[in-house]
Structure formats: structure tokens, C-alpha cells
């Protein structure tokens, strides 16, 4: 006998929660996420289709395989995963479960997903994050990012929360740890991009101003250091 699983036909896509690491493409033009376990080697976008991580030709999710996107039903369960040392810099994702899925006691394994919201935790120093900065590791063609406050950037490659949302596209919302919401496309990635912020409130503008000030302070410190050594590279007497 062949076991047949019960079929569901929901009127709306189910909602799930998961954690992932934000990533930025090498050329800085795209943003996405990479998983923390089985599919960690395959970065994905806000709207993405799953494929078998073992290279098998069946459609994901397959009953006799581990392939497919994974998420849990309960937000608290996903937040608990952020307590482990290796996941402290990951972000919390709220996703829509699309396409075929297999329901489990604690969550789903599914064929397609749309990331609706990414909640960014605090900087390593404990301050609310104003940006996502180079974490020092990555995947081929992608830099992993970690939450950072303006004071801890120190010249690292970085993107503001709103800038990450804009690069990721598909209406992604990025939320800082204190509940601050930044909508996609409201502020450019860097000051060099130009443009005027649209619809930002005072907290968002304060965070962006702090980020720009930190970058300016870093450049000024570098110029001062170079000035101390003079044009020839040695200390000035």
C-alpha cells in the first residue's frame, strides 16, 4: 500500500518563521539570505524556489528527501534558535509558504517562499543596529552580513537597513531590534547614491545620520593618520 498524505487547500498562504544570514553580492547590487543548516551553501532571494541540495532531479519538497525550504509555525520557536552561539548574528524571517508543502508538527517543508519581513538583532556591542556590515565570511560571490551600529562599522563594507531592503526588492521590510520599521526603497545604500529620503520618520533619519557620521569620522581618522606620517610615509618632525 502507498501511504497518501492528507491534502490541504488553504485560502491564503500559510505563514512561517525561520532564521538566516543576510548576504550582499560581491558587486553590491543584490541582497538576499543564506540558510543556517542544510541549504546554507545556496543563497536565495526574497521570492525563491527550492531545489534539491543533493542535486537530485525530483521536485522539492520530496517525501523521501530533506530538500525544500524549512520553517516553523511559531515565531518564538524561531527566535529561540538565535540564542545559540553560531546563530547570534542571523536575522529572523517571516515567510509566506508558497507552492507544494509538507506539514510537520513544528513547521513546514515547502517548494517556494516569499520573505515578508526580516528582523535584525542588535550589534555585538548591544546597541540597536543601524546597518548590516561585512561579517568576515561568505559564499562564492556573496558577503555575509552582520548587524552593526554606526559606531562599530569602522570602514567595513556595509549597507543600511533600508538599503538592504531596496536591493533585496519584492517589498521586503527590514525591522531593527527595537521594532523600528524601514520600508524598501526609502533611502539609498550609500551617500554616493544620491536621492532624498521619502516618508522616513525621525528614528529612521537619526539612524541614517548616525551611520553617515560614523563613516565620516572613520575617513577623518584615516586622513589624520596619513597626515601624521607626511607625504613620504615617515613621521613628521
What pLDDT does residue 155 have? Answer: 86
For residues 209 and 235, give the distance between their C-alpha atoms in angstroms, rounded to a whole number. 34
pLDDT band at 179 (very low <50, low <70, confident <90, very high): very low
**How would residue 207 be classed by pLDDT, with cut points 50, 70 and 90?**
low
Task: Say yes or no to pLDDT of 120 above 70.
Answer: yes
pLDDT for position 234: 53
Contact 108, 74 (CB under 8 A): no
By C-alpha distance, which of 69, 60, 59, 81 is closest to 35?
69
Q: Is 123 helix (H, G, I), strand (E, B) or coil?
A: coil
Q: Are 78 and 17 in contact (CB under 8 A)?
A: yes
184 vs 48, higher pLDDT? 48
Q: CB count, 10 Å around CB of 106?
A: 11
CA quadruple 160, 30, 83, 154: dihedral, nearest 10: -40
Judged against a pLDDT cut of 90, whether residue 96 lies above it is answered with: yes
> Residue 3: its pLDDT value, please?
65
Region of residue 224 (left: phi > 0; alpha: psi -120 to 50; beta: else): alpha
What is the average pLDDT value for the chain, to the nearest integer? 83
Amino acid at each position: 500500500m502507498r501511504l497518501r498524505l492528507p491534502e490541504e487547500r488553504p485560502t491564503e498562504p500559510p505563514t512561517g518563521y525561520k532564521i538566516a544570514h543576510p548576504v550582499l553580492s560581491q558587486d553590491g547590487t543584490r541582497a538576499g539570505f543564506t540558510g543556517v543548516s542544510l541549504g546554507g551553501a545556496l543563497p536565495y532571494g526574497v521570492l525563491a524556489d527550492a531545489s534539491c541540495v543533493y542535486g537530485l532531479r525530483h521536485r522539492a519538497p520530496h517525501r523521501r528527501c530533506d530538500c525544500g525550504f524549512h520553517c516553523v509555525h511559531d515565531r518564538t520557536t524561531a527566535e529561540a534558535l538565535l540564542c545559540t552561539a553560531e546563530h547570534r548574528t542571523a536575522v529572523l524571517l517571516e515567510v509566506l509558504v508558497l507552492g507544494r508543502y509538507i506539514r510537520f508538527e513544528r513547521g513546514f517543508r515547502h517548494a517556494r517562499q516569499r520573505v515578508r519581513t526580516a528582523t535584525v538583532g542588535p550589534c555585538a556591542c548591544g546597541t540597536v543596529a543601524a546597518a548590516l556590515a561585512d561579517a568576515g565570511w561568505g559564499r562564492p560571490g556573496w558577503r555575509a552580513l552582520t548587524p552593526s551600529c554606526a559606531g562599530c562599522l569602522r570602514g567595513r563594507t556595509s549597507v543600511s537597513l533600508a538599503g538592504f531592503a531596496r536591493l533585496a526588492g519584492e517589498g521586503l521590510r527590514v525591522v531593527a531590534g527595537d521594532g523600528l520599521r524601514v520600508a524598501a526603497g526609502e533611502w539609498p545604500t550609500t551617500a554616493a547614491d544620491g536621492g532624498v529620503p521619502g516618508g522616513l520618520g525621525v528614528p529612521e533619519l537619526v539612524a541614517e545620520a548616525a551611520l553617515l557620521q560614523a563613516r565620516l569620522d572613520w575617513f577623518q581618522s584615516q586622513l589624520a593618520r596619513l597626515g601624521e606620517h607626511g607625504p613620504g610615509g615617515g613621521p613628521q618632525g
